[in-house]
């Protein structure tokens, strides 16, 4: 199981889960293109495309930092072409970029609605549309989208319908692409965490209290790695939960992923959109 010499195109990978996936792939010796819009340090969010590239190179991979606003098709198209020019193709697309606002209908203006849907749903669709022609030429092509299982209960929509629409739109891309491109052997899967993940976004939402109830981004990176190493023709159309993927790969101890060492599993906060029928582990 290795991603050595594979080329990954990751949207929004300058920090958090996207960066963790990039670094895990780099440990195998992968080529990683980071397409994100953070070129200068942000006051509240750590990481830029350049610091991400440094981390990738340090981990053993080859990096290509690409300044790209996912809402701009010309920028995305140019980023894809630069990746192909630099590395000779694209083997894996990771749709990681996402915007979040956990607000109700009357508190979510159209500017915020448009931002979430432009980055989440439209950005995912557009990245797929530009990368799929190159994925068709790859030996074991994968699309991995960081979006939830399609559990259509009202409880997941009522508190923040605009955000939920934007995230479920990403999942609908997975559902459609898995069948649309099955003959070409392109796998399309989604990955979602069982618990909150300790990222800058989580800190902004819940502060240190929520961070202490979270797991590290590395659990998502290890689960992503397990998925991306599977034969594409044999594993597609799945909506995966991070620890279930790792459990099925043979892992039994998840304590090392706790953001605060020693935190009992029972004290971790379950993430949004986790279906009630998700297997309980242990």
Confidence class of residue 214 from pLDDT cuts 50, 70 and 90? very high
What phi and psi values does residue 62 have, to the nearest 5 degrees? -110, 135
Summarize pLDDT for 74-127 with one digit per residue, the tens. Answer: 999 999 999 999 999 999 999 999 999 999 999 999 999 999 999 999 999 999
Convert 246-275 to b/e letters by CB count within 10 Å (16 or more is b).
bbeeebeebeebbbeeebeeeebeebbbbe
Q: Give 31-42 pLDDT, tens digit per residue.
A: 999 999 988 877
> Scanning the structure block, which residue is given the tokens 């060492």?
261
User: Each residue of 130-161: pLDDT tens digit?
Assistant: 999 999 999 999 999 999 999 999 999 999 99
pLDDT surpassing 80 at residue 190: yes
On whether the CB atoms of residues 94 and 25 are closer than 8 A, the answer is no
Mean pLDDT of the chain: 95
**How many Å separate Cα 34 from the centre of its chain?**
12
Q: What are the backbone dihedrals phi and psi of residue 95, each rounded to the nearest 5 degrees, phi first?
A: -85, 90
* 53-62, 89-98, 231-240, 256-265: least confident range: 256-265
Long-range contacts of 229-233 (CB under 8 A, 24+ apart): 229/1, 229/2, 229/3, 230/187, 231/140, 232/140, 232/141, 232/142, 232/185, 232/186, 232/187, 233/182, 233/185, 233/187
Q: List, by residue number, the catalytic residues.
A: 163
Q: What is the pLDDT of residue 46?
A: 80
Q: How many whole angstroms separate alpha carbon 188 and alpha carbon 142?
A: 6
The pLDDT value recorded for residue 202 is 77
Torsion 34-37-40-44 (CA) sign: negative
Residue 200: pLDDT band (50, 70, 90) is confident
pLDDT in tens, 28-69: 999 999 999 988 877 767 889 999 999 999 999 999 999 999
Domains, the chain, ordered by start: 7-267 (3.40.50.720)
- Inter-CA distances, 175 with 153, 172, 188, 232, Å: 18, 5, 8, 15
Can you give the pLDDT at residue 40? 83
> Rounded to an integer, what distance in angstroms lies between the CA atom of residue 139 and that of residue 43?
41
pLDDT at 206: 78
Ramachandran angles phi, psi of 127, nearest 5°: -65, -40
Structure tokens at 89: 């193709």
């Amino acid at each position: 199981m290795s991603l050595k010499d594979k080329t990954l195109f990751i949207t929004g990978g300058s920090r958090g889960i996207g960066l963790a996936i990039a670094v895990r792939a780099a440990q195998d010796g992968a080529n990683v293109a980071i397409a994100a819009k953070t070129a200068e340090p942000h006051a509240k969010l750590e990481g830029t495309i350049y610091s991400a590239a440094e981390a990738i190179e340090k981990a053993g991979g080859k990096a290509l930092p690409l300044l790209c606003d996912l809402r701009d098709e010309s920028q995305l198209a140019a980023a894809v072409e630069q990746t192909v020019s630099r590395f000779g193709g694209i083997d894996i697309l990771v749709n990681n970029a996402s915007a979040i606002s956990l607000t109700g209908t009357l508190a979510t203006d159209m500017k915020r609605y448009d931002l979430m849907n432009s980055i989440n749903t439209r950005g995912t669709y557009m990245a797929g549309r530009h990368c799929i022609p190159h994925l068709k030429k790859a030996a074991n092509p994968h699309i991995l989208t960081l979006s939830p299982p399609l559990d259509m209960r009202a409880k997941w929509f009522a508190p923040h319908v605009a955000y939920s629409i934007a995230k479920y739109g990403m999942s609908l891309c997975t559902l459609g692409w898995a069948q649309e491109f099955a003959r070409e052997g392109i796998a399309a899967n989604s990955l979602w965490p069982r618990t909150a993940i300790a990222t800058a976004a989580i800190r902004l939402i819940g502060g240190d209290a929520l961070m202490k109830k979270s797991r590290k981004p590395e659990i998502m990176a290890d689960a992503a790695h397990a998925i991306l190493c599977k034969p594409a023709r044999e594993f597609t159309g799945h909506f995966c939960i991070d620890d279930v993927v790792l459990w099925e790969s043979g892992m039994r101890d998840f304590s090392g992923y706790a953001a605060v060492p020693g935190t009992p599993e029972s004290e971790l906060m379950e993430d949004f959109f986790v279906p009630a029928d998700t297997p309980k582990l242990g």
